[in-house]
Amino acid sequence: MGTQSQFPFNQPIVWEPSEEYIQRSRLKRFMDRHQIRTFDELLERSTTDIAWFWEAVFEDLGIEFYEPYTQVVDLSEGIQWPKWCVGAKLNIIHNCLDKWMDTPKQDHIALRWEGEEGTVRQLTYRNLNNEVNRVASALRTSGLGKGDAIGLYMPMVPEIAIALLAIAKIGGIILPLFSGYGSGAIATRLADADAKAIFTCDGQSRRGKPVPMKPVVDEALKEVASIQKVIVYKRIDLDVSMDSDRDIWWNDFIDGQPTEAPTERTDAEDVIMIIYTSGTSGAPKGAVHTHCSFPIKVTQDMAHCFDVQESDTVYWMTDIGWMMGPWEVFGTLILGASMLFYDGAPTYPDVDRVWALVERHGVTTLGVAPTFVRAIMPYGNEPIQRHDLSSLRVIGSTGEAWNPDPWCWFFETVGLSKVPILNYSGGTEISGGIVLSSVLRPIKPCSFSGPPPGMASDVVDDAGNPVRGAVGELVIRKPWIGMTRGFWKDPERYLETYWSRFPEVWIHGDFAAIDEDGQWFILGRSDDTIKVAGKRVGPAEVESVLVSHPAVAEAAAIGVPDEIKGEAVVAFAVLQPDATPDDTLRAELEALVVKEMGKPLAPKTVLFVRDIPKTRNAKVMRRVIRATYLGEPPGDLSALVNPEIVDEIRQAM
């Protein structure tokens, strides 16, 4: 590690904060309030005096406790097991909804929604509060309450936000599940969490076609004995079977329930949510979060880095099963802003659907994945230019590493070189960002401006020493409030995953670099790193070269064993619709990699495929590609949005 990497460096700064962005900034006001002159000074103080910083965050976000804490953080059990807001009583729903009631905020829009078929709904804070109370009362009537895990397996309809908030309101444990999961993935997660109930729907619509969901739950529950209640929302009028002893339609469930309900007075460190993430091997990991962890960290990121304010509308292209779903719900409501949900395919009935949503709903903060951008590039600028996107102030990006060409195209076409693209990288176990960009810092293509306040992030070499101008491991040196409280029922796996390599240092598993200007770059998972003849290279470097060719829409690069070099590069390319997958193009692409990266990194081969295995939050699953190429078991595929592509890779070989 520590080998010079060409991909991130020598990029120009393309965006700098204008006076308008600076003066509007919540973070600037925070710094002024505490007489902090520079971002670097804030970062230093926020990571050396963490109790001061998080207490200042509570004040800045207006977090209200039922009973105060006696200590911000207790590290007596080690950095791996901090206790936050010691002795405090806090149910985060008080800060999402309760405190806004009987104020002018109750009449503001909390949730805008649009379905693929064109239906539009709006809920004010008062409307949302009333519906949450009805569901909370119905859950209690069904015998569900504090400490009970309840699954969410629904598309992005308003009811999924209502259910999520209602579970937290009664002191239950939210269990978000991807709306595209198969029965096996659902059963594994429900059983591991001992879930007592699940919210689902009859089905969802994708590209105008019905996709059943209730039958998937029925199949899953054959393996889960703990489920007592299945609440089914009728989304597309699909004919589904109902077990009269267990299943109930949403409308019948809440019929007659009151619009007022007490909020459970939970401890600040009571569990609010378990989000399962797929590891490279073994069973999914259940990241545990509490009332004062995930909701406060995500809101701080949203406020201090994305600069979301009460007048803003946030639309993040996400599913509730990815952390960005709960991120959007908790963050916007605590800040008194508005969220937009869209239930449907982002390019249906035309490729301009996202831009129509931005224009129609006045979206100010749009969140995308680089994968989406690469997919729409072949359609050119025209679908974007059909719409007035002047409401956009911030574009967020997360899920996967960028390549420079798509980043620049998106910045120039959607942002008109004026709206910043704020990269965001962290994870479910982080409750948000380890590194990100902000409206107060300059931006280079594909870059992050650095850690957010409160995150003691660093890049280190194999010995754990800080490294600059070269590639290393992304680590965190101090605890933060959003840190997972461990893996559900598996503390040893948590310690082994994050804390076993360097003493008291969190190893995140990402491959990163910091350039001479202090700009950060994430280059993919460190276990995806390719080492050719002693030189480490990030897959994103090879992939960026390939997608710079006009025939290539997407690419993935892996390292495979090589007797001479140790490892050799094998690349997979998804071509543009008009490109011909022949030996001539393959030779062109191989020559392009050699020209840009040097002869030792010449690909062993370039294979043409229709798609690349990705999770539903748009991460490229290179470990699946590598295992398939080598004829090894591909491992857990439950998180893949396109598992059929694994067989296509085998055929391509």
User: Quick one: which of 254, 244, 246 has its CA closest to 220?
Assistant: 246
- Scanning 101-224, the segments in alpha helix (DSSP H) are 125-141, 158-169, 183-192, 214-220
Sequence-separated (6 or more) residues with CB below 8 Å from residue 580: none
The whole-number pLDDT of residue 6 equals: 47
User: What does the pLDDT average to over 469-492?
Assistant: 95
**How much of the chain, in percent, has pLDDT values that exceed 90?**
77
Separation between Cα atoms, residue 341 and residue 576, nearest integer Å: 30
Q: What is the CA radius of gyration of the chain?
A: 24
Separation between Cα atoms, residue 368 and residue 316, nearest integer Å: 6
User: What does the pLDDT average to over 185-195?
Assistant: 93
Q: Which of 97-101, 333-337, 438-442, 567-571 has the lowest mean pLDDT?
A: 567-571
Say if residue 180's pLDDT is above 90.
Answer: no
Encoded tokens for 15: 């965006």
Q: What is the mean pLDDT of the chain?
A: 92
Separation between Cα atoms, residue 129 and residue 120, nearest integer Å: 19
Task: Give the phi and the psi of residue 237 in degrees, each rounded to 5.
Answer: 55, 45
The whole-number pLDDT of residue 648 equals: 78
DSSP 8-state symbol, 120: E
Helix (H, G, I), strand (E, B) or coil at 10: coil
Helix (H, G, I), strand (E, B) or coil at 571: strand
User: Which domains, from first to last, does the chain contain?
Assistant: 19-98+292-524 (3.40.50.12780), 529-652 (3.30.300.30)
Sequence-separated (6 or more) residues with CB below 8 Å from residue 492: none
The whole-number pLDDT of residue 315 equals: 98
Helix (H, G, I), strand (E, B) or coil at 75: coil
- Determine the straight-line distance between the first and last CA of the chain, rounded to whole angstroms: 31
Say if residue 452's pLDDT is above 90.
Answer: yes
Q: Which residues pair with 639 in a beta bridge?
A: none
- Contact yes or no for 195/215 (Cβ under 8 A): no
Separation between Cα atoms, residue 292 and residue 298, nearest integer Å: 11
Say if residue 4's pLDDT is above 50.
Answer: no
pLDDT tens track for 522-540: 877 766 777 776 666 778 7
Separation between Cα atoms, residue 1 and residue 462, nearest integer Å: 6
pLDDT tens track for 366-423: 999 988 998 899 899 999 999 999 999 999 999 777 888 899 999 999 999 999 999 9
Instruction: Tell me how long the chain is.
Output: 653
Give the H/E segment covering residue 60. Answer: helix 50-61
Residue 5 — pLDDT band, cuts 50, 70, 90?
Answer: very low
Separation between Cα atoms, residue 530 and residue 524, nearest integer Å: 11
The whole-number pLDDT of residue 2 equals: 35
